Structure 1
Amino acid sequence: MFEFAWPWIFALLPLPWLMRLLLPAADSGEPALKVSFLGELEGLVGRRARTQLPSWRQQAPFILLWLLLLIAAARPQWLGEPLPIAASGRDLLVAVDVSGSMDFPDMQWKDEEVSRLALVQHMLGDFLESREGDRVGLILFGSQAYLQAPLTFDRRTVRRWLDEARIGIAGKNTAIGDAIGLALKRLRQRPAHSRVLILVTDGANNGGEIDPLTAARLAADEGVKIYPIGIGADPEQSGTAGFLGVNPSLDLDEATLREIAQATGG
């Protein structure tokens, strides 16, 4: 359907003619000599006195130009039939840990060594873009939890916000309980059967004001399912002297993450 976004612009159509009628003609300021026999003189040379207004042929280009200018200013647009958005009914919030430990470069992505956050951005970003029909949102947490992107069907924008996340933006500690609490606040008004939180972290709760298990029990009461994902490397890594006995995932509290999942049915 063709329409104009600002049709009121066409009210300006008579503006040039109104200005011509209402504004006084410009005075050249040059002295003039009145000649009583001017009419006979013009008759002798075959010219007519040009006292009338310009002909329509002279005005046509200016009229057309003014009309085209108004049409452009009125913002013409073509609106097709509304397309329904396929929605599965899920409201999916993703809470990503951006504390200092997520900068540890012990992950592999396409044969390259990357940080834990970089791996999450690659894999979780692909997952978010695949959630066609779901509302998705993003929470970033460290010492505090922040809503980075509210629930929306615009999955690409949420992925862009995830890709732009940086270590330490929310503090160096890990407030898992606060992240769950913020998610509950944002999901509370959504339908009970569709509320899901994906919690991604590499450590134990050592910040914030809310205990993770207390927050998990509140989530269970409100029907919010939590799916925790723990990030960490293998206990042994290859080095120049063979395998090195390291444990970069020592802080990962797998027991608490399992309890959170069990309490909420995730």
Structure 2
Amino acid sequence: MIVNWFQQTDFAYPWLLVLLATLPVLVLLHYRKQQVKSASLALSTTREIKKSRSWKSALMPVPFWLRILALGALIIAMARPRNSFTETSTDGQGIDMVLCLDISGSMTERDFIPNRLEAAKNVAMDFVRSREGDRIGVVIFSNISFTLTPVTTDYNMVLQQISQINSGYLEEEGTAIGSGLATSIDRLRYSKAKSKVIILLTDGMDFGGKISPDIATSMAKTYGIKVYTIGIGSNKTVDDNDPLGQGTRQLDFNPELLKNIARQTGGQYFQAADNKTLTKVYESIGKLEKSDVKITSFNRYEEKSLPFIMAAVFLMVIELVLRLSVLRKFP
């Protein structure tokens, strides 16, 4: 277990670990010194004195071992153990885009399996997996909007954030498509990319909010951002249980709003039906003008020295307490 930890841990100063080899030498020298001291002393004692001092004799080696362990912990701490996270460096071309997901209550309707929200998440994750060189961010909205991730090339982080989305992620009830779009626009408005895109995944049911879809659409046009809308839903009639017995109801779905947003911003509208729909989305966005993208390589480190420093201090305190109390030598 200890060997595996050393193999899996990166050290800033690994050469300091060589000092650990001195610890067995110190132990050997200590016990040789003790043997010499014992041989040179003529002990005159009685059986009663031996019996009364036996527990102290048993504790005599403890401070030495505490000091050895503390020294070992300090050596490891000085070598600076850490976990490293490496980002690779690549050059290419890409687009800056934001995935804008509706997580309102209407997205829990089950005309998609298992429901609209899970279908939208699957669409979004499939889309992220299909991209290469693009910078992608994620915004979610119900009655309010929230940025899950800024635009980034770290697709693993984007996929992880999308997978954790649920309908209760934002406490506010309602659907504010305009607010979701406005937040997405804010993520892209300072981008210098040649093509900036928002992919809006929703059922198109809008219930107010501080910013209307029309105003948000105008904002997107002002900043040269194209909005591709993907309709998640249908107007199917489904069985519904009510207090009076089993009835039916028609599901809410508003594709016209989504078509209008896409048309005015130069994007396109798609009805999420199957994988062929996704292929069309990929192809359309793939035709947009791309910017040169340079992904810089860097290492991030998570320091692990503190537990060893704390352990060393704790061991030295225990050693000091023992030496000044039960093992104290009186003149």
**TM-score, normalised via structure 1 length:** 0.65
Pairing of 1:100-119 with structure 2 (within 5 A): 100-107=105-112, 113-119=113-119
After TM superposition, give the deviation of residue 119 of structure 1 in Å: 1.1
Inter-partner Cα distance in structure 1 for 2:12 and 2:93: 36
Counterpart of 1:133, as a letter, is G
Task: Find the residue that maps to 1:213 and give its secondary structure.
Answer: helix
Task: Find the residue that maps to 1:193 and give its secondary structure.
Answer: coil
User: Are 2:204 and 2:257, in contact at CA under 8 Å, matched by a contact in 1?
Assistant: no
Inter-partner Cα distance in structure 2 for 1:163 and 1:11: 41
2:168 matched residue in structure 1: 168
CA 1:76–1:123 in 2, change beyond 3 Å: closer, same or farther? closer
1:201 matched residue in structure 2: 202
After TM superposition, give the deviation of residue 172 of structure 1 in Å: 2.3
What percent identity do the matched residue pairs reach? 30
| Pair 1:217 & 2:218 matched | yes
After TM superposition, give the deviation of residue 194 of structure 1 in Å: 2.6
User: Are 2:102 and 2:140, in contact at CA under 8 Å, matched by a contact in 1?
Assistant: yes
Q: What stretches of structure 1 of length at least 5 have no aligned partner? A: 34-65, 108-112
Inter-partner Cα distance in structure 1 for 2:136 and 2:196: 11
CA 1:73–1:264 in 2, change beyond 3 Å: closer, same or farther? same
Task: Find the residue that maps to 2:227 and give its secondary structure.
Answer: strand
Q: Pick from 12, 22, 29: which aligns with 1:6?
A: 12
| Pair 1:89 & 2:94 matched | yes
Inter-partner Cα distance in structure 2 for 1:153 and 1:191: 16
- 1:57-116 per-residue CA deviation (whole Å, 9 max, x = no partner) reads xxxxxxxxx8xx76x936699xx9x95324422112101100001011111xxxxx4211
- 1:185-228 per-residue CA deviation (whole Å, 9 max, x = no partner) reads 11122124231100111133213211111111111111111111
Inter-partner Cα distance in structure 2 for 1:86 and 1:129: 18
1:127 matched residue in structure 2: 127
- 1:124-165 per-residue CA deviation (whole Å, 9 max, x = no partner) reads 211111112111111110010001122221223212221211
1:260 matched residue in structure 2: 261
| Pair 1:73 & 2:79 matched | yes
**TM-score, normalised via structure 2 length:** 0.53
RMSD: 3.9
Inter-partner Cα distance in structure 2 for 1:76 and 1:163: 28
Counterpart of 1:187, as a letter, is L
Question: Quick one: higher RCO (CA 8 Å, sep 6+), 1 or 2?
Answer: 2
User: Are 1:213 and 1:259, in contact at CA under 8 Å, matched by a contact in 2?
Assistant: no
Q: What stretches of structure 2 of length at least 5 have no aligned partner? A: 1-9, 27-32, 43-71, 241-246, 268-331
- The higher radius of gyration belongs to 1
CA 1:76–1:137 in 2, change beyond 3 Å: closer, same or farther? closer
- 1:18-52 per-residue CA deviation (whole Å, 9 max, x = no partner) reads xx9xxxx99x799946xxxxxxxxxxxxxxxxxxx
2:251 matched residue in structure 1: 248
After TM superposition, give the deviation of residue 174 of structure 1 in Å: 0.7
Inter-partner Cα distance in structure 1 for 2:41 and 2:160: 73
1:137 matched residue in structure 2: 137
After TM superposition, give the deviation of residue 6 of structure 1 in Å: 2.1
| Pair 1:226 & 2:227 matched | yes
After TM superposition, give the deviation of residue 238 of structure 1 in Å: 9.3
After TM superposition, give the deviation of residue 231 of structure 1 in Å: 1.6
Query: What is the aligned length?
Result: 209
